[in-house]
Amino acid sequence: MELKAEEVISAIEKKKYFREFLKEKQNGKITHAYAFFSEDKLTLKFLLTLCAMTICCPKNGCGMCSVCGKILKNVHTDVMTVSSPKIRVEDIEKLKEDIALLPYEGDCKVYILQNAETMNESAQNKLLKLIEEPPQNAVFLFGVSDEFSLLSTVKSRMKRIDVERFAPEDILGIKSFVKQAGNAKNAELAAVISEGNLSAAADIASDGKYNSVFALATGLYAKLKNSRCVAACMADLTPYKDYINEFLNILLIFTKDMLQYELGRADKIILKNSEKEIISVLWEFNAPALMGIIEKINATRKKLMLNCNPVLAAERLLFDILEVKYICRT
C-alpha cells in the first residue's frame, strides 16, 4: 500500500513523542543517537524521515523547502539511509567511510537505520565503535521493531523513544489509506482491528477475511438473543478461530460505541460506519449491561493471552454476555 508521506507525517507530528523530539531540536539539544521503538515498521519509516527533516531543515522540518523535498525523495547528500532487509557489517563499513566526510549541504549528517533489529552481533559491535565517540556533526536515527535483538551496550548509547500508537481516527485521517482500502467501511475495519498499527492496518485492508470477522462482531448482538442462539453464533465464528483476537477487539469497540450512544455521546463513537447496527440493537441494553459486557470481553482477551482455547473462550463469552444482559435487565 502506497501512502502519501505528507499525510502520514502530519499524523505523526501531532504525537507527544515527536513534539518532544522537535522541542529538543528547537532548544539545540539534539543528541547523537536516537532509537525509536515500535512494532509498526511503516510508521517507523515515515517517522525516521520526518526526524531527518527536522534535524536538517532550517525551519525544523517544514516539509516545503528544498531540504525537506530532497530528504523525502531520498536524494539529500547529508542523509544516508540503510534500509536493507538485514543490515550487515558491510553496511556499517559504508557508514564509517561516509562519517569521516564533512557535511556537504548543511551543518549535520544524518544516518537512518530502518531495520536496526536485523543487525547481527558483529555489525552491532562495529556500529558501537561509531556511536561511542561520534563526531559532533552526525546524528544516528534507529528504527527498532524488536528491542531484544539489540545488544545492551548498543542500546545504552542511544536515547530511547517509544513510539505512541495511532488512534483509529488518526489512521482514518490518512486519506490515501482510506482511498486504497477501497471504501470507508474497509478502512474503518482495518484501522480498528490493527489497534493503531499502520503496517497491520495496511495488511488488513487487503485481507478479505477481516470483512467477515467485522460483520460477525458487529452483527453478534442482533443474532445472540438467548442461549439457544449460542450454537449458531459459534458455527459462524469457528471457521475464523485464528481471528478471534481480532473479533474480540472489534466487539469491544462496538460495545463501547453502544455505551457512548446510550450515554448520549453519539459524536464520540469510533465505528462511524456501523451506526445503523448500533442503533438496531441498543434498545436491548442499558448502560450497566454494556459496562458489564465490556468487562467480560476484556477478561476473555486476557484469557487468550494465557493460551486458552480460543473457541471455548469465545463460547463462554457468549453465555457471559447473555447472563450480564439478563441480570441488568430493566
| Residues 148-179: tens digit of each pLDDT | 899 999 999 999 999 999 998 899 999 999 98
pTM comes to 0.78
- Does the pLDDT of residue 205 top 90, yes or no? no
Region 4-11: what's the mean pLDDT? 94
- Mean pLDDT over all residues of the chain? 92
> b or e along 248-264 (b: 16 or more beta carbons within 10 Å of the residue's beta carbon)?
bbbbbbbbbbbbbbbee
Cell numbers at 155, concatenated? 542500546
- φ/ψ of 162, rounded to 5, equals -85, 125
Q: What is the pLDDT of residues 114-125, one digit of tens each?
A: 999 999 999 999
Residue 292 pLDDT class (50, 70, 90 cuts): very high
Which of these ranges, 53-57, 133-137, 198-202, 274-278, has the smallest mean pLDDT? 133-137
For residue 256, the Cα-to-chain-centroid distance in whole angstroms is 20
Q: Tell me, what's the pLDDT at 330?
A: 60
Residue of higher predicted confidence among 4 and 192: 4
The pLDDT, as a whole number, for residue 279 is 94
